Structure formats: C-alpha cells, structure tokens
Structure 1
Amino acid sequence: MVLNFFCIIFKLGVWFVLLIDLKINGAPIEAEVKQFPGFQGDLLSKHYAGYITVGAESHKRHMHYHFITSERNPTRDPLTYYVNGGPGCSAYSAIVHLIGPFKIEDTVHRVKDPIRLRRNPYTWTKVSNVLFVDSPVGAGYSYADNEEDYVLNDSATIADLYDVLMKWFEEYPEFISNPFYIAGSSYSGMYVPVLAQQIVNGNEGNHGIYINFKGYSLANAAVDIYYDNNYVVPFAYKMGFISDEQYNDLAKSCGGVYWNNEDPDCIKNLDVFKGFIKGIYAYHVLFLPCHLNIGLTMEDAEYESAEIFQSLYGGLEFDVYCHDYEVTPRRLFDTKIARELLHAKPVEIAGTFERCSKRIKYTRDIFTLTPYHLNLTSKGYRTFFYSGDHDMKIPYISTLDWIKTLNYTEIEKWHPWFVGDQIAGYAVRYTNNLLFATLRGGGHTPFENMPRETLEAYQRWIDGADSL
C-alpha cells in the first residue's frame, strides 16, 4: 500500500515536470535557435526566431522576431516586449549592445577575424522572458513586399507592433498568462505608451487575446516634443559647460524657451552656446561617441584598426569613433550562416543587415504622449521612467519636469537608491504607481555603461517593488 502511494507520487512528479517542459517547449519547433552567431557555448535558456507576417495581401510586411526565455523561471517570470528605438534600429542591436545575453568581444586588433561574442552577466533574460522584434519594417531582418511600405511614421509602426504581438501569442499561447510588460528607450518612448493603450483597449473591449498587461518602463525616452528639445541648455548649465553669465543671458533672451525660438537675441546667444558644446558627445557627455569607457582618448590600436579597415575596404563608412560600433554588428549578422541560424531570409529577399536601417523613410507623427501616460497611470498600470544622468540628448531633468506636469503627489521624495553599498542613482515615487529614477553615471542608453545597476532596477520593479 505504501509502495503504491509512493509510485503514484512519483508518477505525478514526472507528469508535473513533463507539463512544465511542455509549457516551455510549446513554441514552434522549427523556430528554435540552437546556436547564436559568433557565440561559442551553450545557450542558457531557449531561443526562438522567425517571421510573423502582417498587412494586407498587396502590402505584406514580414517582421522578424527573436524570443528568449527567462533563465530564472520561464513559466512564471514576466514577459517583456522590448521595443527598440532609432527609429529603424534592429532588435539585434539591443541583444548584443543593450539588454541581451551577449556582448561583442573587443576585436580592434583583428579586423578580418570573425566577430566573437561573450556572455552578458547582466542580461535581462536572467529575470524575464524577452521578446524582440525588428521594427519598423525595414529594420534588421524585417522586410516588405512593397517598397512603399518603407515610408513610415509612428502610427504605422505601432500598428505593426500590436499586430505582431497578437499573432505571436497565437504561436506561443503558453505565455499568455505571464505578467506582461513593455520596455524601451529613447525614440521608442513614442511607441510604448500608445502600444500599451492599444493592449488595454483590446482587453477592455474583449477584442481578441486577453493580455496580462501590468505596466511599462522607459529609459531616457521621448515623451513630448517640447520637453525632448528644450532642456539641453539647463542641463549644460547644471553640468558646468557654460558660465552663470552665459546662462543668465540665455534665460533672459529666450525666456526659458530654447527650442523653436525666433527671437534674434535668443538665436544669437544659442549660436554662442552651440560653440561651447560642439565637441561634447550628447548621448554621454563624458564619453567618446559610440564608446563605453570613460575618457576623451582612444587606444592607439583603435585608430590603427580604422586605418587597416580603410586600407582593406577602401574607406570608412562611419566616423572613426563609431566605426566598430556600427560595422561590427553588420559583419556579424549580415552573413549566410547568421541568417540560417536565426531563421532570417537571404539578403536577396530581406536586404542587407544594418544596425540601423538606411532604407526607411521615416516621419514623426505623434508629438506628445502625455494623454496616453495619464490615461494608463490613472487606471493603475505600473510605470517606471529612468534616465542616465549624463545624457544631454534627452536629459533627466526634462523627464522629471515633464512628470511634474502630470500633477501626481510625491509619496517618496528625491532619495538615493543603492546597489550593494554604492549609490546607483536617485529616485522619486509618485501616486498612481509611477516611479522615476536616475542612474548615476549613465548615458542615453544606460544599459550599455550601467548594466548591473539597470538590471537591478528593472528586476526590483518587475518583481513588484514600488520603490528602489
């Protein structure tokens, strides 16, 4: 009798394990990625890649996705829909430069050697399932049947992102019940809240698949065309790039409006101001362009690498500072073997892979996201804004001042937050589940030079922390 009892328990245990395995492996078998280009070693979780087609018969758009399951607990961990910025930059840029499980090895001494990747110890896939999509169409491996579909705007991009997600859930239904978040940075701030609103509308109207949407996060994100463009002068002053006298002259002549101001005295003072910041890299004011190490000089080997590349290939397509950053992903992903491993179409069909596409003709048609943010936060959805505090492209003070226009009450005022015993940044918590934080020393894409701190912040947030 006791033996039979233990046999039943054992069988139930085996059945439970098989059920979990079935849940994780319910994805299309042909979509599984067994090996990632440039990486030697076992993948620490499941990868899947392929195409999802959206659009009408004469305007089909074939959107390439890459899905990575969580290394922690795929069945229970959140699903993050990571939306890349640009507009027009490939999701694979995020996978090897930002939050994915890989980082590009330094290859400045070997311009003809194959590109090699190493593990990223601070990948978001340690704590979340992550879905990446090459969007808008024309980015990365995504392509359209009709050339007219490469003429794009924000609204068209968001519509495709939504349709891709709905169809993706049809192929991966085992993840429908997971807590669902949307994340992005920079220009994807234009997409994320509108996409979130579409999901909420679909849920409330019982249109199609019900998504377990919980909230969204944005790093150094575009939120409003005025705030996005008007805070370079105040930020530069706070950083000590201009004198008190210069700032007072600017403030007086421009009346605090430094963007689209046609006052002659304002324009004159702004011209002087531009001379003071001309040599500063706006995306991280302490770094060289496209570099992740602090300092104003490059290693000699990096200059030599650029010169060698020029002698081999007849010129530099990008500035010497950004050459490796831009060209290396193309060398890695624009190969026959990479396309085969990632289930991407040949170059004759999908076109040349570029980190950020040049074939897209893009127009911004959404200029403020405030109504979307207000509506979503008023419904209680969780929102996390964070900024690298050395970004002059979209300074943290612009996001912070914009948040103040929402008129939410501060629950926790400006305070330091920690990783270990070190201050990682400063945070403010508001009513309506809204959290803002800075990353001390971070730039426009803080995942690149503050990877540990960014992962720590995101993990605490998706795991339910209300503050940092």
Structure 2
Amino acid sequence: MEPRSRSHLQPWSPFNKFSSRVFFAVFFLLIISSEVIESRFLVKSLPGLLGDLPFTLETGYIGVGESDDVQLFYYFVESEGNPEDDPLMLWITGGPGCSALSVLLYEIGPFTIDYANSTFEKPMLKINPHSWTKACSIIFLDQPVGSGFSYAKTPEAYITNDTLSTMQTYHFLRKWLVDHPKFLNNPLYLGADSYGGIVAPMIVQQIYNGNEAGEGPYINIKGYVLGNPLTNTSGDNNSKVPFAHRMGLLSDAIYKSAKKNCHGEYIDVDPNNTLCIHDLQVVDKCLERIRKSHILEPFCDTLNSLKSDLFRRGLRSLEETTVDILSAPQFQIQGCRDDNYLYSYTWANSRHVREALHIREEFKQIEWVRCNESVRSSDDDETLSYTKNVQSSVEYHRYLIDKNCRALVYSGDHDMVVPYLGTLKWIESLNLLIVNDWRPWFVDEQVAGYTMKYSNHDYNLTFATVKGGGHTAPEYKPKECLSMLMRWLADDDL
C-alpha cells in the first residue's frame, strides 16, 4: 500500500550521503502533515510511578496506509546512556496482535510492575534496572493495526497480513525518522520476538531495498535482533517433539515410536496414518499440562469465564465497574506468571493512564488488551482480520546474508513455543561459515547460556541460548539478556 502523494519516496544521491540526509530530513519536515507532528507528546510522569520519569518517554501516533487510515501508536524511550550516539532500535512485538506495552512492562522496558506494593485495583510501577534502554534508544510500536492502542479509521483498514503489515511498519519508520531527524545518523537495529520473527526480516529487507533504490530518508540500518523467533512455521512447530524428548518430557520409547511412525512430521499428519496419530495422542497426553512458554513453570488455567468476560470483552476501567474481581469465587490468583499480566489490564485501561499517555479520544471506548485475539479472528471465527500469508522468513535471512549486516538471534532454552532446536535448524540451513563453535557464555562467572557465531563476508550472525529463559527470554533472565545485548552491540564476543 503506497503512502499519500505528499509522502512519496524521493531520490537519494550516494555521492553526498550526509547532505542528502539533511536535505530530505528538512524537506519531509516541511511537507509532513501537521497531524503527525501534533501527535508527539513528551510524558513526564506516569500513574503508579512516584515522581517524574528519570528517562525521556515520548508517545504518539503516526498515520500510514491510504489516507493515513491506519494510526500506529508508539512509545519512544531515549537511551539512558548517550542518546546522541547510542543505537536506535525499532521493536516489533509478536502475536500477531500483542501490545508493545507488554514488552515495556514485562520484558525490556525501563519500568515494570512493583508487585510488592501493588494491589490489583491500584498497580504501582518501579524502575527496571535491566532495561535495554541502558544501551540504546527504543521505539516500541503497536503493530499491526488493532494491537495495543493502534487503530484504524475504517473497518476495511483493519484487514491486513504479513506483507502489508511489513510495508506499514516500514512507512511508519520512515515517517518517524523524518519527524526525529537527530536520530537519522544513529545505527538502527530491528528488534522482535515470537511471531515478530516472521515480519522483522521482511522489514529489514525492505529497508535495505529502499536505501539501494534511493528512497529518502536514508536509513542507517545495521542489523537485527530476534528472540525465540518464529521463522519457519513448519520446522519450528515440528521441533517441539524432539525438544520435549531432549528435555525429558517424553521417554525414549515414545519419541522413537513417534519419529518412526510420523517420519519426523508431527503437524501435517496423514489422517490415514493411524500409528502416527496414536503416537501423537500419547505425546499430547504427556505435554498437555506443561506450560509451553516455560516448561519448568506451573501450568495454570487462568482463562476462566470471569476473566474472559472482564478482560476480553467488557473491561474499560476499574473506575467504571463495581465488580470486586479479587473477591469473586471464580477468580483466584494462583501464583502463576500469567497472573502478573492482569495488572497491565487495570493499568492500561485507567482513564488517568490514558490521559498520561495521550491516547486519542477515538480509542476511548476501545478496551486495551495485552494480546488482541480479534486481530487473528473475528467473533464468529469466520473472517480473519490478519492473514498469515508468509509461512517462512528463512529466504529473507538468506537475502540479508549478502548485505553488510549483523544479526543476534537468542533463544530461552526452556521455551517450547518456538524451541531453540528449530531455530538452530534454520540457521544451519543458511550454510554460513562457523566462526566460533558451541561454547558457554557467562554473566557474573556463571553460565548464562551457550553461543555460536557465523559469518558470510560482511554478514555475521550470533546465536545464543539463554539458560533458564522462556519464550520471552528477557522476562525470565533480565540481567543476562541485557549483558548479552550490550556485548553484542559493542561487537564483543559473548
């Protein structure tokens, strides 16, 4: 989908790169819509966090698509180090349909829930000492449309897919950089986890293509960072059975029988292969009470009917409901990680929070949810608003190995949503040169995981497991993941 004529791509001359960047920054700033510029707000304080913010937080909307029908919401946090020189990262959340606020609160953002001093009715915040903003400035983007506080002006504009979402994110980034010209020269990295592993390499490719085609402004892309990324849908899903066996969740006999009878294919099974189907029923029985996002944590059924009613359909804000959620018999905090996420619903749906974040009035009657299931299906489960039209992003990685590009791919090694075995398999399929073979990496003299380094001329890829990490590794091992990122950004070995 092309941007409006006032935002058409402009030619770029490689013979005077710096002056061209300055020219196009000024040019676009003059013609960019006042709607974009007026949608930038500096947030100096947040409900639940005492005092002014000790870091720079900006929120805003940028329109993309036909007539800017899609309004993408972002949080921008300047580096707490040296924002003039530190890298800039655009972070893509998974799902599809999960909010960037989830990443801010639970993974790599500068603040998080202060559980010790919070009640469900009044969540409190605290500073995250292991925020990735210690090392770089980060744009946390609510994408695709329908995620977090992003919205569309028309029903048709909610209909999207992997390729369209890629282009909308790319156009968002170009507009954002034009609106923030002081970051044009900062090294840029794309960051993503989970389902973001499908679209992030596509966005990176689009950036390289745009630069080579002379599209302005020139984007100083340096590489990408992917955590437990879905990459090859078939391969990643099929790796769950061998992963479960390797982690002691399946016996040798069960695994050998399933491998033999299913021929290594555990997803698209021939319905006439009764031996395979029987083996997979045994496998399912072994794994049905295992928490897939971290196999060592307790399995809890938190999606009871009360929560579903309050959080998926009807909750606007505790200020607008008289339901005493915690005292309801159906609702029990079970000491599970998923219970932590409930605080974000209360916080994000508070009128005071929305005012502080400058959420638009158009979103007033829309409930914020951490992961919007309706992005993937409608209420009648017949119409998909998001079509997963790319089943594998391996070829996009293969395209990037011919570029001057750096990649960090990390995997929490206790994740069974996207197991590290599947990730290693597609990395090996790239046929890169092994620079450093499998070895441990350390934090505070303790093994933090294992790593390998690959290269192909000007392209290099570092793979790292995070020992004890789950599907979103920084959520489980924040100190180790920050150390990993900082070393990699400095081009040091892990």
Aligned to 1:50: 60
Deviation at 1:148, TM superposition (A): 2.2
2:141 counterpart (133, 137, 148): 133
Deviation at 1:363, TM superposition (A): 2.0
Distance in 1 of aligned mates of 2:425 and 2:53 = 42
> Aligned to 2:195, what secondary structure does the other structure show?
helix
Is contact 2:233-2:392 (8 Å) kept?
yes
* Equivalent runs, 1:392-411 vs 2, <5 Å: 392-411=416-435
Deviation at 1:288, TM superposition (A): 2.5
Aligned to 1:346: 361
- Which residue type is aligned with residue 428 of structure 2? K
Mapped pair 1:269 → 2:279: yes
Task: Flag structure 1 segments of 5+ consecutive residues without an equivalent.
Answer: 1-25, 292-307
Q: Deviations over 1:381-409 (max 9, x none)?
A: 10111100001111111101111111112
Aligned to 1:7: none
Aligned to 1:204: 212
Aligned to 2:449: 425
Mapped pair 1:461 → 2:471: no
* Equivalent runs, 1:233-312 vs 2, <5 Å: 233-262=241-270, 263-289=273-299, 310=325
Distance 1:232 1:309, change over 3 A: farther
1:100 counterpart (100, 109, 120): 109
Aligned to 2:124: 116
Mapped pair 1:415 → 2:439: yes
Q: Deviations over 1:143-188 (max 9, x none)?
A: 1111222232111211111111111111101000000001111000
Mapped pair 1:447 → 2:456: no
Distance 1:376 1:311, change over 3 A: closer
Is contact 1:318-1:326 (8 Å) kept?
no
Deviation at 1:290, TM superposition (A): 8.2
Mapped pair 1:78 → 2:102: no
Aligned to 1:61: 70
Mapped pair 1:329 → 2:354: no
Distance 1:179 1:350, change over 3 A: farther
Task: Flag structure 2 segments of 5+ consecutive residues without an equivalent.
Answer: 1-28, 30-35, 302-322, 376-384
> Aligned to 2:115, what secondary structure does the other structure show?
coil
> Aligned to 1:31, what secondary structure does the other structure show?
strand
Deviation at 1:320, TM superposition (A): 8.6
Mapped pair 1:375 → 2:390: no
* Equivalent runs, 1:139-178 vs 2, <5 Å: 139-178=147-186
2:201 counterpart (181, 193, 203): 193
Distance in 2 of aligned mates of 1:183 and 1:35 = 26
1:434 counterpart (442, 458, 461): 461
Mapped pair 1:183 → 2:191: yes
Distance in 2 of aligned mates of 1:317 and 1:381 = 48
Deviation at 1:40, TM superposition (A): 1.2
Distance in 2 of aligned mates of 1:317 and 1:145 = 38
- Which residue type is aligned with residue 210 of structure 2? G
Distance in 1 of aligned mates of 2:357 and 2:363 = 16
Aligned to 2:11: none
Distance 1:177 1:373, change over 3 A: same
- Which residue type is aligned with residue 351 of structure 1? I
Deviation at 1:322, TM superposition (A): 6.1
Distance in 1 of aligned mates of 2:71 and 2:134 = 29
Is contact 1:336-1:346 (8 Å) kept?
no
Q: How many residues align?
A: 424
Q: Identity of aligned pairs, percent? A: 38
Q: Which runs of 4+ in 1 moved over 6 A?
A: 26-29, 317-320
Is contact 2:345-2:369 (8 Å) kept?
yes
Q: Provide the aligned C-alpha RMSD in A.
A: 2.4
Q: Deviations over 1:388-438 (max 9, x none)?
A: 000111111110111111111211110011112111000011123011110
- Which residue type is aligned with residue 235 of structure 1? F
Aligned to 2:372: 357
Distance in 1 of aligned mates of 2:164 and 2:350 = 29
Distance in 2 of aligned mates of 1:311 and 1:440 = 35
Q: Deviations over 1:340-372 (max 9, x none)?
A: 111111365572111112442322110111111
Is contact 1:309-1:316 (8 Å) kept?
no
Distance in 1 of aligned mates of 2:483 and 2:231 = 24
Is contact 2:326-2:332 (8 Å) kept?
no
Is contact 1:102-1:119 (8 Å) kept?
yes
Distance in 2 of aligned mates of 1:76 and 1:382 = 18
- Which residue type is aligned with residue 430 of structure 1? Y
Deviation at 1:451, TM superposition (A): 0.3
Distance 1:343 1:143, change over 3 A: same
* Equivalent runs, 1:213-224 vs 2, <5 Å: 213-224=221-232
- Which residue type is aligned with residue 164 of structure 1? F
Mapped pair 1:227 → 2:254: no
